[in-house]
Amino acid sequence: MGLELERYWGIGPKTREKFEDKLGVDGAQRAVLYSDFDSLLSTGVGLGRIVSILRRVGEGKNIDAFGSVDSRNGYKNILEIVQKFSVSSRVKNKIKILAPMSSIGLINEQLDLIFDTVEAWKLLPEENRKMILERLKWCDDVEGIGRTTVGISTFLYDMGNLGGVFQEIETLNIETLKKVERAMNQLKQTPLEVDAERIRPPIESIESLVQMEEEVYQIIEDIKKKNVSGFIEFKEEVYASLTRKTGIDGSLIRDIEVEELIEADEFILEIIRKLKTKFRGEIDEEKRKLDEENREFIERSRGDINKSIETIDKIAFYLSLALFALHFDMSKPIVKKDILCVKVKKGRNLSMLSSQREEVTPINYTIGTSETQPQVESERLAVLTGRAGSGKTTLLDTVFHITVLSNMGLPVPAEYAEVGLFDSIILQKCSGKQKIAEAREMLKSMVPPIVEEKKTLLLVDEIEMVTGMKDAPEILRWVLHLADRGESMGVFSTHIAKTIVPIEGGIRIEGIDKEQSGEEYQPMPNLIAKPTIELAIEEIIASTKRRSELVAYRELDIKFGERVFQRKLNDPKWKK
pLDDT tens digits for range 370-412: 666 554 446 899 999 988 888 899 999 999 999 999 999 999 9
Would you say residue 123 lies in a domain?
Answer: no
Assess whether 512 and 540 both reside in one domain: no
Tell which residue, 84, 159, 91, has the closest CA to residue 121.
159
Q: What is the predicted pLDDT for the residue at 567? A: 46
Whether residue 343 contacts residue 418, with contact meaning beta carbons closer than 8 Å, is answered with: yes
Higher-pLDDT residue of 413 and 443 is 413
Residue 239: exposure state from Cβ atoms within 10 A (0-12, 13-18, ≥19):
middle
Confidence bin at 195 (pLDDT 50/70/90): low
Q: What is the predicted pLDDT for the residue at 561? A: 44
Q: How far is CA 394 from the centre of its chain?
A: 24
Assess whether 363 and 488 both reside in one domain: yes
Confidence bin at 517 (pLDDT 50/70/90): low
Assess whether 526 and 538 both reside in one domain: no
Number of domains in the chain: 4
Q: What is the mean pLDDT of the chain?
A: 84
Assess whether 448 and 522 both reside in one domain: yes
Assess whether 223 and 359 both reside in one domain: no
Q: Is the pLDDT of residue 16 over 80?
A: yes
Which range, of 2-16, 345-359, 514-528, averages the lowest pLDDT? 2-16
Assess whether 336 and 282 both reside in one domain: no
Higher-pLDDT residue of 19 and 568 is 19
Assess whether 400 and 447 both reside in one domain: yes
Q: Is the pLDDT of residue 564 over 60?
A: no
Could you list the residue range(s) of the whole structural domain that residue 52 is in? 1-58
Q: What is the predicted pLDDT for the residue at 269? A: 78
202 preceded by a cis bond (ω within 30 of 0): no
Q: What is the predicted pLDDT for the residue at 433? A: 66
Whether residue 461 contacts residue 386, with contact meaning beta carbons closer than 8 Å, is answered with: no
Would you say residue 144 lies in a domain?
Answer: no
**CATH number for the domain harbouring residue 449:** 3.40.50.300
Whether residue 388 contacts residue 535, with contact meaning beta carbons closer than 8 Å, is answered with: no
Q: How far is CA 377 from the centre of its chain?
A: 37
Whether residue 154 contacts residue 176, with contact meaning beta carbons closer than 8 Å, is answered with: no
Assess whether 482 and 551 both reside in one domain: no
Assess whether 368 and 467 both reside in one domain: yes
Would you say residue 247 lies in a domain?
Answer: yes
Assess whether 339 and 273 both reside in one domain: no
Q: What is the predicted pLDDT for the residue at 85? A: 97
Contacts of 66 (CB under 8 A, 6+ apart): 72, 74, 75, 100, 425
Q: How far is CA 298 from the centre of its chain?
A: 31
pLDDT tens digits for range 52-100: 888 888 777 888 899 899 999 999 999 999 999 999 989 999 999 999 9
Would you say residue 75 lies in a domain?
Answer: no
DSSP code for 488? E
Assess whether 397 and 423 both reside in one domain: yes
Q: Is the pLDDT of residue 355 over 90?
A: no
Contacts of 21 (CB under 8 A, 6+ apart): 43
Average pLDDT over residues 200-205: 68
Confidence bin at 174 (pLDDT 50/70/90): very high
Q: What is the predicted pLDDT for the residue at 438? A: 81
Q: What is the predicted pLDDT for the residue at 106? A: 94
Would you say residue 104 lies in a domain?
Answer: no
Q: Is the pLDDT of residue 105 over 80?
A: yes
Which residues does residue 101 pair with via DSSP β-bridges, in sequence order?
Answer: 61
Would you say residue 177 lies in a domain?
Answer: no
Q: How many CB atoms lie within 10 A of CB 127?
A: 8
Domain boundary, last residue among 58, 89, 107:
58
Would you say residue 52 lies in a domain?
Answer: yes
Assess whether 405 and 289 both reside in one domain: no
Would you say residue 305 lies in a domain?
Answer: no
Which range, of 206-210, 484-488, 509-513, averages the lowest pLDDT? 206-210
Domain boundary, last residue among 43, 58, 73:
58
